[in-house]
Amino acid sequence: MTFLKVNNLKVYYPIRGGFFRRVVDHVKAVDDISFELKPGETYGLVGESGCGKTTTGRTLIGLNKATSGEILFENKDLTKLSRKEFHNIRRDVQMIFQDPYSSLNPRKRVLDIIAEPLRNFEKLSKADEKDKVAYYIEKVGLNAESIYKYPHEFSGGQRQRIGIARALTLKPKLIIADEPVSALDVSVQAQVLNFMQDIQKEFNLTYLFISHDLGIIQHMCDRIGIMYRGQFVEEGTSSEIYANPQHIYTKRLISAIPDINPENRERQTELRQEVNAEYKNSYDKYFNAEGKVHKLKAISDTHFVALP
Amino acid sequence: MGNQPLLQVEDLRTSFRIQDDYHAAVDGVTLTVNENEVVAIVGESGCGKSAFALSVMGLHPEGRTKLEGNVNFNGRNLLSLSTAEMNKVRGKDIGMIFQDPLTALNPLMTCGKQIEESMNYHTKLSSSEIKAKALELLKKVGIPNPERTYKQYPHELSGGMRQRVVIAIAIACDPSLVIADEPTTALDVTIQAQIMDLLKDLQKQMKTGIILITHDLGVVAEMADRVAVMYAGEIVELADVKTLFKNPLHPYTRSLLNSIPSTTSGNDRLHVIKGIVPSLQKLPRQGCRFKARIDWVDEHEHEENPILREVEPNHFVRCTCYKNFHFPENIGDMNNDIS
């Protein structure tokens, strides 16, 4: 049984205009992508802003509607479920949002924030509910007394951990983490990332990790999919992508990562210029007339590249 | 000016009024920037790096801020200048690049007009000359179609293009010093690389001094000549970039370097700095300010009144606690919060 399989997913947004606001065109936010998640792994979706990675994540959890294609979660097609049936899936799929400042309701206590998913699915007594919330708040490294506080009393890293506690309460199988650390300081980032790895082992979680930061993706992910304009340009294991990138767009992304060693500064600049020159010269080879990438081709069992 | 440094900050202390008390966010910072030099200031948020930059620019609200010390630039102490005099320096001799290009630009003015604004104010050029200069600047910052961008509004441009316009504004009057406050933080990786390369290029051409404020050590490694690591309002380590990355000494610098994912490979644990940057009111003003966050280090390793000491030529470190500093074995544990 596959855990999560996405087949030919398309998410289009209509552009309306002209008479009677008819649909004149579509923004193809996600344009025919397929990938698979194995239980217990961390799959990274990378790309620049506007490439459709967030839309993909939101569609999986039902916050966006798929235009066509299948999302098979434990062999059930999420795109065909009714609202009521989908409700039960929500238990197993949870989301961690990017900005810990806007994803927690400022007028609710931490207790109510974390208990909200519980109240939707489980009928617990007040005392049981409180115990459960206290258990998870301690799991994320905060004081059990903090459940009576409000979000503004916490720092960014602590808030993000409250967001993670909320995602954990229903014991989900899949967590979609959309840029979970982009809004945090480096040191706090490390804390949240370490913590995400810990709970992954403890609760046997599968992550879909969405980020634009290639350093973090390399650190966290087993397999990676690189997106460009709503399509995959390359997919492979972490080492395949970083040590042996095949598509020019992947090469360009990787060469853009700042090198932490100042001794390599000149080399890094040269490399970037080379890659940019190659990008310009061989554009026609990697992209078709519409500026879209080609279909993915396997170059090893796990490594797929969009080549003609 | 010869060998005189471009900017000489001496014992700068910037205090904010919070409930009738003044608390120093920048606490005795001494730093020089030479011509044609990029000095980076790194640290977590709340360490006083932006407060430092805004003090040099004189952009803090007057009523609530107290500035002490000297900021010598072109033979004058900027802190003693009146607002009118300071207005003649800002934008002309010192340019500033802000973090978020969307909020830094005026949404109601075309990009061209915004670039011309400071030239109108500071120079006596005719309007046609100014326009020609603005177009030239747009070209210089790598905008493909200057004539078109000149007439466009900021919302019509992508983030990278906007940041280029912000840079064009900052360098419009050929400043000798540019302060760049997190210039690439709001941008995508590929755009970040382009903007870094652009800044490096411009800096080489124009021989400007740059103060680069960032929390991203990768950006520091790629751009800076010298680095000042700031913690809780003080510089804790100051060295040239190669020395700092090869031989970081202060526990704070080492902790920061160890918490970046790209340097550690595979499934290694990242280092987590215990606790958080203390708020201004709670900041310890006595002893080593980093003490609370490395509490496994013995008390007597710290100095009582740590000063920035030269430990090898041009490498300065505050406090003696670096000498026997080691990371704890269970790095990255979660149960270390001060709630």
d(CA B236, CA B319): 8
Number of domains forming the structure of chain A? 2
Same domain, A207 and A65: yes
| B339 pLDDT more than 50 | no
pLDDT digits (tens, 9 = 90+) for B232-271: 999 999 999 999 999 999 999 999 998 888 644 445 678 8
Is residue B59 helix, strand or coil? coil
Contact residues on chain A for B272, CB-CB shorter than 8 A? 187, 190-191, 194
Nearest CA in chain A to B227: A262
User: Final residue of a domain: which of A172, A195, A229?
Assistant: A229
At the fourth CATH level, the homologous superfamily of domain B7-224 is P-loop containing nucleotide triphosphate hydrolases (3.40.50.300)
Instruction: Please tell me the least confidently modeled range out of A258-262, B82-86, B172-176, B248-252.
Output: A258-262
Q: ipTM of this model? A: 0.81
| Contact state of A187 with B256 under an 8 Å Cβ cutoff | yes
Q: Quick one: what percent of chain A has pLDDT higher than 90?
A: 53
d(CA B81, CA B70): 11
Same domain, A174 and A209: yes
Domain CATH number, residue A33: 3.40.50.300
| Contact state of A187 with B273 under an 8 Å Cβ cutoff | yes
Q: Is B68 on the interface with A (CB under 8 A)?
A: no
Listed in sequence order, the residues at least 6 apart from A137 whose beta carbon sits closer than 8 Å to its beta carbon are A110, A114, A143, A144, A146, A147, A162, A165
> What are the structural domain ranges in chain B?
7-224, 234-322
Predicted local distance difference test score (pLDDT) of residue A241: 93
> Residue ranges of the alpha helices (H) in A80-155?
83-92, 110-121, 126-139
Same domain, A238 and A206: no
pTM value is 0.87
Highest mean pLDDT among B128-142, B257-271, B278-292: B128-142
Nearest CA in chain A to B42: A186
- The radius of gyration computed from the CA coordinates of chain A, to the nearest angstrom, equals 21
Residues in chain A: 308
| Contact state of B255 with A187 under an 8 Å Cβ cutoff | yes
d(CA B14, CA B2): 30
Nearest CA in chain B to A146: B339
Contact residues on chain A for B275, CB-CB shorter than 8 A? none
Instruction: Please tell me the least confidently modeled range out of B36-50, B254-268, B281-295.
Output: B254-268
User: Final residue of a domain: which of A198, A229, A260?
Assistant: A229
Predicted local distance difference test score (pLDDT) of residue B12: 95
| Contact state of B218 with A190 under an 8 Å Cβ cutoff | no
Predicted local distance difference test score (pLDDT) of residue B1: 47
d(CA A176, CA A53): 11
Instruction: Please tell me the least confidently modeled range out of B155-164, B204-213, B269-278.
Output: B269-278
Nearest CA in chain B to A144: B339
Same domain, A204 and A305: no
A284 lies in which domain range?
Answer: 230-308
Listed in sequence order, the residues at least 6 apart from B281 whose beta carbon sits closer than 8 Å to its beta carbon are B18, B21, B23
Q: How far is A48 from chain B (nearest CA, A)?
A: 6
Q: How far is A165 from chain B (nearest CA, A)?
A: 14
User: Final residue of a domain: which of A206, A229, A252?
Assistant: A229
| pLDDT (mean) for B109-136 | 94
Best to test chain B binding among A186, A201, A217 (most B CBs inside 10 Å):
A186
